[in-house]
Amino acid sequence: MLNVDIRHDFPAIRLNIRFEAPEGITVLLGRSGSGKTSVINAVAGILRPREGKISLGERVLQDSARGAWLPPRERNLGYVFQESRLFPHLSVRDNLLYGARRRGLGIPAEFQELLQLLDIAQLVDRRPAGLSGGERQRVAIGRAMLAQPRMLLMDEPMAALDEARKAELLPYIERLSKGRNVPVLYVTHNIAEAARLADTIVVIDGGQVAASGPAGDILADPEVAPVLGVRAAGAIVQGRVVQVHGDGLTEVAVDGGRLYLPGCDAAPGESIRLRVEAQDVMIALERPVGVSALNILPVTVSAVKSGQGPGSLIQLANGGMRLLARVTKRSEAALGLRVGLPCYAVLKSVSVAREGLHRVGGDRPG
């Protein structure tokens, strides 16, 4: 459990950040320049905020009221910096093992596995100078992980990586977080990545926490959407696989009904997380006929957020499930959308983006 409550002034921006990150993966989301790196630096002990308190479980990392301050080296965190910061005079191997050696550990058991996973086995004898951007970033990820940290801080670690690599690495990070109980503080501006990984999401805007809480709640919050960019708005839906049909469609039970997903390789009984982008949800007052009859859920309007542009965001709920829908203001008026209105959410099974598909509690090798 990480507790952050800090205030700090930069010439151009004032940071005032307070959030709690329970176990698991906490994603800091926010636009460029909003203060994400500054927060993670404060947790790492690299930025010493003017005032505030940071604690990780029982350990107080900083408490300006009591003058307490733990230097970075004693915080035992693994930090993947936004700009890699490899040691230029050390080989890739020595970079990777730097933390383990400083902490007096031998070569960690997962060294070889991680080399494979990061596809850097062929680089170990080289020095950082000639590495490509992505290679540097992969080595930096490995370096932080091999330090056997108590907590992992990752500042846009995947920004330079291709989808294939990313797809292999994300499950590894999940395993680390859930399997080994290493909490992760993860900065990204990619909402799909956040939806994929996050247990908790903290949205930062202009140096302030715009919202924070469980990933599902935050992503379905229409108030948060404008901060992240309306384009990227979408909700996370928890479901359980009921059956895999012969035609390849997977039937998933969610609050309010059943969804049918193509190309999902989950087994019956498994819990999965689905991401439904707001732009993929239509609202109908009557159960539509003749359109895709597969994924239609009865819902109630639970929140309405009219933006400055031509669009509105409508939150739709059924039990614990929440969806976001993006509609035009004209539609909003035409349909008379208001909180409490019962209606139907129309979504295509395939609107469940692949990247947002996520096994909860799964622990297979990546």
Ligand X SMILES: Nc1ncnc2c1ncn2[C@@H]1O[C@H](COP(=O)(O)OP(=O)(O)OP(=O)(O)O)[C@@H](O)[C@H]1O
Going by C-beta distance under 8 Å and a sequence separation of 6 or more, which residues neighbour residue 265? none
Distance CA 53, CA 69 (A): 9
Among residues 22, 33, 57, 133, the one that binds Mg ion under rule CB under 5 A = 133
Which residue type occupies 185? L
Q: For the purposes of burial, counting CB atoms within 10 Å of the CB of 149, is it exposed (0-12), middle (13-18) or buried (19 or more)?
A: buried
**Which residue, 56 or 228, is less far from a second copy as judged by CB?**
228
Give the residue among 80, 288, 270 at the shortest CA–CA distance from 176.
80
Based on the shown chain and the rule CB under 5 A, indicate whether residue 37 belongs to the binding site for Mg ion.
yes
Stretch that binds ligand X, among 29-37, 209-217, 227-235, 241-249 (CB under 6 A): 29-37
For residue 267, the 8-state DSSP code is P
Site for Mg ion in 50-89 (CB under 5 A): 82
- In the complex, the residues that contact another protein under the rule CB under 8 A are 8, 10, 41, 44-48, 71-73, 75-79, 81, 83, 85, 87-89, 98-99, 102-103, 127-130, 143-144, 147
188 binds ligand X (CB under 6 A): no
Residues contacting 286, CB < 8 A, separation 6+ = 344
Radius of gyration of the chain (CA): 22
Q: What angle do CA 67, 70, 71 make, to 5 degrees?
A: 120
**DSSP, res 352:** B
Residue 37 touching ligand X (CB under 6 A):
yes
Do 59 and 72 form a contact (C-beta atoms < 8 A)? Answer: no
Window contacting a second copy (CB under 8 A); options: 20-28, 90-98, 211-219, 225-233: 225-233
Stretch touching a second copy by CB under 8 A, among 160-168, 201-209, 299-307, 358-366: 160-168
By C-beta, is 29 or 325 nearer to ligand X? 29
The token duo for 147 is 């330090």
Closer residue to ligand X, CB minimum distance, 14 or 359 = 14
Q: Does 336 bind ligand X (CB under 6 A)?
A: no
The residues of the shown chain that bind Mg ion, judged by CB under 5 A, are 37, 82, 132-133
The residues of the shown chain that bind ligand X, judged by CB under 6 A, are 10-13, 30, 32-38, 82, 130-135, 160, 189
